[in-house]
Structures are given as C-alpha cells and as structure tokens.
Structure 1
C-alpha cells in the first residue's frame, strides 16, 4: 500500500518545515508550495490525498485553492491554516468546503488529529455506504434534499446548526451526519441543554477536578471529553446561559477545554452539531444569545421541515411506525385510505413524535382488523403552528395537552352553536364522523 501524498501551501519556510517533519513522521509524503501559482502547478502534475494551505499567500487567497479543489473532478480534503484570532476567514473557508482548520501557532497534537481524520475520510469515501433512505424515511423533495445535504456534511468537520420544530427529527439528522462521517467509530454524545441545571452546566460540559467545589468527590470527565474523537450534539442550545455561551465559544475556537478546578487546558477533538426549535437569529437580535457564538455554530445550517410540509411521506412513515409498534412487520395492522387521508389533512403541531403517539393510541382503540379514521381521534380545530419560539402557546399557562384540549373544546362548542346544537350537523361541519364526534364530547365532558 503506497503512502498518502499531502500538498502543503504556505509562504513561511518555518511552517512548511514543521508540517513536512510532522507529516513525514506520520508516513505521509509531501510536496510544498510557497505561492498559489506553485500550488496550482503541483495539482496539475499529480494527485493528492490531502492539502494544508495558509489563507494568506503572496499571489492570492487560500480560499481560491479551497474552491479549486472542491470543484475539481476528484476533490479531496483541504484544511486551512489561519492566524490566531482570524476565525472569520476560517469559517468562510469551511462554508466553501474546507475540511477543517488549524490555528497558528500550530498545535502538533491538533494537527495530527486533523490529518488523521482527513486521511481516514479519503480512505473511506469510495467504499462507505452513505445511503440514508431507509433511516430517514420519505421520498418528498424536502427529504431527498435533506439526505443529499447529510452526505455532503459528512465530508466536513464544520459545525452544523440544525433547526426545526419540536418532534421533526433533528437528533436523527445529527446521528446520521455522525454515522456517515469519518467519526462514525467514535462516540456520538447527545445532550439536551434545557435539561441541565445552570449551576451544573460547566461541570457537565467540561468536567471537574476532585475538590474543585462542594460535592466534587472525584475527578469527572465532561461531555467534550466523553465525545473526544467523535461528535457532540447540543440539542436546545438556545437554553444555554450567557456564562456558558462564552466558555463554549472558546472551546470551539481553541479546540481546548478547561475542567473546573484545572489549571491547564486540555485539547479535544470534537465535531459540534447543535439544534433548537427556537429562532436563534431573533435571540441574537434581542441580546439573549451571543452573536459570535451563533456565527461559530452556524457555519452550515440545515433546516428540518415540519411534517405538514411533507404530507406525501406520511404513508411510508405510518407503515414504518406501525411495524415498529406491532413488533413484527407481518403482524402490523392495516390502515384504511380514509385514515391516511385524515392524517394528511392534519397539521401535526408535534410532528413525527405526535404521529407516533396518535398511532400508538389507535392501536389500543381499533377493532383488531383495520385502523379507521375514528380510531385516530385526531384533535380538531388545531391551527398551523406559529413560527414564533413557542408556537403560540405559553408553557407557563399549562401543558401542551391542556392547550390543545382547550382549542378542541372551543372548536366543538363553536360548531354546536353555529348548528343550533345539532350534533350531527356540527360533526359534519368539523369533518368528523358522528362516532368520533361523540367520543370527543364525552372526553371533554360536553355530552350533557
């Protein structure tokens, strides 16, 4: 097996020498160039497995080299070397397709990790099965687009910001990015930021030393160390307090963390994926989320569409969920076309998670032969969710279930009033069978 080849592009002889020595010790052959023109010439002469390039070159910009390699017939990983504190240009390079970045002065451990990840990708790329069609279900245009983006994002180490409504499948998308990447053999660590008490967040994220605070009876590794070499998924990142936003920003930029009570920083090799159902751009504007952190985590953004925007996927999702709930595909119940049509008309404020709950309830109510529309017991009068952070409902006023029940009650009472309390006519107006309408009246204690 022949040694991999790397192209080094920098106008500082000391940097070139450091990189050549480090890569040679890793069994990598190198070719070096001091200008953009020399680099282009070497790219025409032979193929490479990796490129490390400075962003500032005497005759041009390293970003031009990133674009050239990424748009070539045989693209390969390119990482950029950036001056300390010049993260903006590094982020621009990653948006254009750079694999990763390393800051000057170059940390050799970080460099070796980066090179190892890049070469692993080059080795796996031709033979890795990147199909996600049987995991991320649906053939709608939106889902085909998501699957295509996941394949592209798996080639990079860039932070990805996943946004979408609650229950839309953001964590599944994050897991697939990890599974299709070179980090798939390392940990995928997922955490809901809203579930951690604020006073414990720093310790949970970065770990702590024994005796660093009351109750610290031993050393503890944090989430960054647990995910070292792999992927860290921060769900509901909008819930991070301002104090931790600052520390997270530093960890992303420096690729180092400092456990509570520790004097020295520890290098970590983590790819960061984050998600929230809230509007981070609005939070930046009102000052509740740091703009610089938003810029760092949002190198690449990925929008997961709500279920109501891909109703053509509902039949295949229903089939999959019923197979899972029944235990064996051959024993899953049938579902009538009318029931499928009803599901496709429904707006699903809770998205796929709500679809699973509806089908699980239907399995308990149906006659054992076929799930009918009435067995679904879909709420009525549910409006399209507002894109505002809480989708128009204030959690301080009660649970989502209470909120939906109040809307359903209001819709039924309105229909009864408009039809002079004729239940048959009210059911027809609401698009319900009389049996389903009576079920709702009883459930809401309106059948007196």
Structure 2
C-alpha cells in the first residue's frame, strides 16, 4: 500500500500478520495534513485496505476520473479546492462511489452540506480511528443509494441556529444532517433553556420542507378546553363563541413543519386525537365531518420525563412511541462547558449588532463561566451576557464582575430536579433557619409555614403569568378551578386581570 503525498512521494506500510487479509478495496484519501494521511494509512492498512493519499483536491479528482478507488475520504479545507465543492463533481462521474467527509470546521452547516451533497458520512475532527474504520466498512458494504438533489443551503455561518463544537453537539449535527431529507417524526428532550426550539427550526430550515411554514405551538400555554380547536381548527358554530371558521395549527403548517413544544403538558383527550392523526395521517376540525389530509412533519419536544408520565397514567404510551421515532437528547450546558467561550462570543456579537457596546471577557472570567453549573442552561448564559453588555462600562469584563453576577442571580427551577434549583434553595434556607435556632427551636407548625411560604408566591406568579386568568392558572398548576379560588381567598392573593 502507498502513501502518495502532495508532492508525489511514496511510502510503503505493511499490514500486520494478525490483521484481516486485504479484500482488494482501495481507499482514496485527500487531506493537506501529512500527519493525518500517515495515521489513516496505517489504520486502514491494518484493517486490510489498500490506501492512496494526497494533499490536494486536484490529485484526488484525477484518481477518481481515472476510475481508481472504491471509497473516498476527503477533508473540507484543502489548498486548491474545498472538498465539499468536489463532491457533486465526483457524484456526477462516479455516482456509486462512497464519500466520507472529515473536517475541523465542526458546525451544523458543514454536516448538513456534506450530507446534502451526497456524502455517505461526516466525521468531525478529531475523530476516533476505530469509528472511522467501522464507517469505512459500513460504507463499502452498504448498497448504493440515490443522491438527493442539492437544496439551497446558505453559506452564512454567522446565522447558524446552533453553536458549539463539543462532542455532544457534533453528534447532534450528524443526526440532524441524516434527518434533513426525511419526514421522520422527531422527539427532542432536554432541560429548559437547552435550545429545543432551535433544533426544531434547524430541522425545518435545512430540511426538504424548508420552503413551507414552520409553526410552533406550546402545549403548556393553551387552556385545555381550547387545545383541540387550536391544533385542528373548528367550524362556525362548533361551540359557544365560534362565530367564524377557525384555522388550526395543522392547517397553518401545511407543507411544512409543526413543532409541538412541551408535549408532556398535552391533556389526555387531545393526546387521543393527535394519535389518530399520526396513525391515519388525517384529521377533522372541531365540529367538522370531512377528513383533511395532514401534510406536515411533526417535531415534538419536552423537558419532562415522559416514561415517568406514562407510568403515572398522564401520557399515552402508544402516542409516545409514535412521537419518539427519532429521539434527540439535548445535553445541558454543564455537559458541554467547552462550548461556553464560543457561545459567549456569539452572544456578545449579537448584542453589539443590536447597538450595545462591544465587550470581551478575560481568561479568568471565561474560566469561571465554564465552572458554573448553569441550571438555566444556554438561555441563562445568554441573559447573563446581555446584562454584562448593558450594565458594565469596561470593555473587558473580569472575573470579579462574573462572580458578583453569578452570586446575585436567583436559582433557576430546573426541570431535571437539580440541587441548583428550587429544592436546593429550600434546603439552604432551612439549614440557615435551623442553624439560627439551634439553641431553642420555635413552636410547632413549621411544616405548614414552609408550605404556605412556597404556595403563596407560586399561585401569585402563576396568576401573573396568565394575566389573571384563573382557568389558565388552574391548568398551569394542575389544580381544580374551585380549589384555586379557595386558595386565593385563604392566602389573600390579589388577582389583577390583564396585567402581566
């Protein structure tokens, strides 16, 4: 086997006696990094393949045009041509030839463009050699598939919806790229603030339905008695107040993507109707008799543990399996802390574009951000960056400012039950309380007093969030409306309607 460098020199590598016998397949490798060429030559040689490598796209194109090679592995950035631009030309003359793209430009756009232009697989650098060899074997054993017609993918990386080059994000990019030209139903899970709607929008914006509408609906924000009308529409006279025909979200999303956020908050009766839509691919409006064909891609999301809700009888198991065709778990920010510097720079650039002063963080400040637990995830980080840009005069933010901001930020209620959330706050409060009364505990009744202290702001803020609408607040809290009214009286909570 030979290692042909960009300058034409040749090196020979012999496979181990214990390695599989060569099967006569030849791998063509194009990468301007000599070290990578050498490593790949050795790894694929031990796996039993013949290997030819080059540092230029021109040499690779010559080999492909001459009919050489059974598989191509190409870098994206090379001195004479972008590897992604070479793929359509290769596919035109050798449509059956598998292409694996590797790149240090580890963005969603790279993964999407590689897949859209016909690559068999995309591997971000650095990659695991064992994984690469397995991908090569899979590519050579998989029957040829037709290449999708290239779509229009914007080359503007500044507008990318997802930021991060961590291993966790790379896996998400690869998954999204594979789903781009399908209509498979996707379930996105993750804590609040991890960017579930951004992933749903990326699926739409880079997918084959990109020309259609993207319609998002939050299940938790709709009163349960209106949710079926909201989703499926209603006919005139279907219920009191239905003076005209109402268009539902399924109809609005026709030809595009319907994003069902917080699907775990969908009431049982609406779950049954949604299941029928997924099974039959059609629906009827509330009060209607004619079936309407559903031409949408469904993407659902939740911060809840749906398997736990199934056990509690709150979510239909058959609906879960219909929605969970392709699961995507978004990691919390604390699991991808290496992405924080890039996220910070992105948010600082955004606020500068909006007219706020340009800022930067010094090394110590950035390190402190990477050590924070981020119970509010990316949303919390973005809010912090916006405060830094708006409230501080210095151009370079130091660690003292970061420490002060993090210390003054109230704990975030975390969907995963993190000790950084409400339970952690209550625990700290009670520890301080008992420490202050270590000599002589006060009179009995602590349990009721603590519950009352939590209950009153919970109900008051829920009413504020629903603009004083007690029906919506009761649904949000999971309480009977009469029970809520009783608690409002008992706790002497003032209800102001229409004021947020």
Give the TM-score category using the shorter length: 0.5 to 0.7
Q: By how many angstroms is 1:366 displaced? A: 2.2
Question: Counterpart of 1:169?
Answer: 195
Q: By how many angstroms is 1:354 displaced? A: 0.3
Residue pairs, 1:1-400, within 5 angstroms:
71-75=142-146, 122-124=148-150, 128=153, 134-327=160-353, 332-376=358-402, 377-379=404-406, 390-391=417-418
Question: Residue 272 of structure 1: SS of its match in structure 2?
Answer: strand
Aligned CA distance change for structure 1 residues 209 and 330 (closer, same or farther; 3 Å): closer
Q: By how many angstroms is 1:284 displaced? A: 1.3
* In 2: Cα distance, 1:414 partner to 1:231 partner: 53
Q: By how many angstroms is 1:247 displaced? A: 0.2
Q: By how many angstroms is 1:129 displaced? A: 5.8
Aligned CA distance change for structure 1 residues 207 and 374 (closer, same or farther; 3 Å): same
Aligned CA distance change for structure 1 residues 413 and 370 (closer, same or farther; 3 Å): farther
Aligned CA distance change for structure 1 residues 200 and 279 (closer, same or farther; 3 Å): same
* In 1: Cα distance, 2:356 partner to 2:387 partner: 20
Q: Deviations over 1:363-385 (max 9, x none)?
A: 24323322122323344599999
* In 1: Cα distance, 2:149 partner to 2:338 partner: 37
Higher RCO, 1 or 2 (CA under 8 Å, sep at least 6)?
1
* In 2: Cα distance, 1:318 partner to 1:412 partner: 35
Question: Residue 260 of structure 2: SS of its match in structure 1?
Answer: strand
2:192–2:414: 8 Å Cα contact kept in structure 1? no
TM-score (norm 2): 0.54
TM-score (norm 1): 0.60
Number of equivalenced pairs: 300
* In 1: Cα distance, 2:426 partner to 2:309 partner: 29
* In 1: Cα distance, 2:316 partner to 2:435 partner: 47
1:348–1:354: 8 Å Cα contact kept in structure 2? yes
Question: Residue 250 of structure 1: SS of its match in structure 2?
Answer: helix
1:382–1:407: 8 Å Cα contact kept in structure 2? no
Q: CA RMSD in A?
A: 3.7
* In 1: Cα distance, 2:394 partner to 2:199 partner: 34
Q: Deviations over 1:240-283 (max 9, x none)?
A: 00000000000111111110111111112010000001111111
Instruction: Name structure 1 gaps, 5 residues minimum.
Output: 1-45, 48-66, 77-121, 395-399, 417-448
Aligned CA distance change for structure 1 residues 405 and 286 (closer, same or farther; 3 Å): closer
* In 1: Cα distance, 2:395 partner to 2:366 partner: 16
1:209–1:218: 8 Å Cα contact kept in structure 2? yes
* In 2: Cα distance, 1:152 partner to 1:384 partner: 37
Aligned CA distance change for structure 1 residues 406 and 341 (closer, same or farther; 3 Å): farther
**Deviates most, 352-361 or 195-204:** 352-361
1:278–1:390: 8 Å Cα contact kept in structure 2? no
Q: By how many angstroms is 1:331 displaced? A: 5.0
2:356–2:390: 8 Å Cα contact kept in structure 1? no
1:347–1:382: 8 Å Cα contact kept in structure 2? no
**Deviates most, 145-154 or 327-336:** 327-336
Q: Deviations over 1:8-36 (max 9, x none)?
A: xxxxxxxxxxxxxxxxxxxxxxxxxxxxx
Q: Deviations over 1:177-207 (max 9, x none)?
A: 0111110000000111000000100100000
Question: Residue 244 of structure 2: SS of its match in structure 1?
Answer: coil
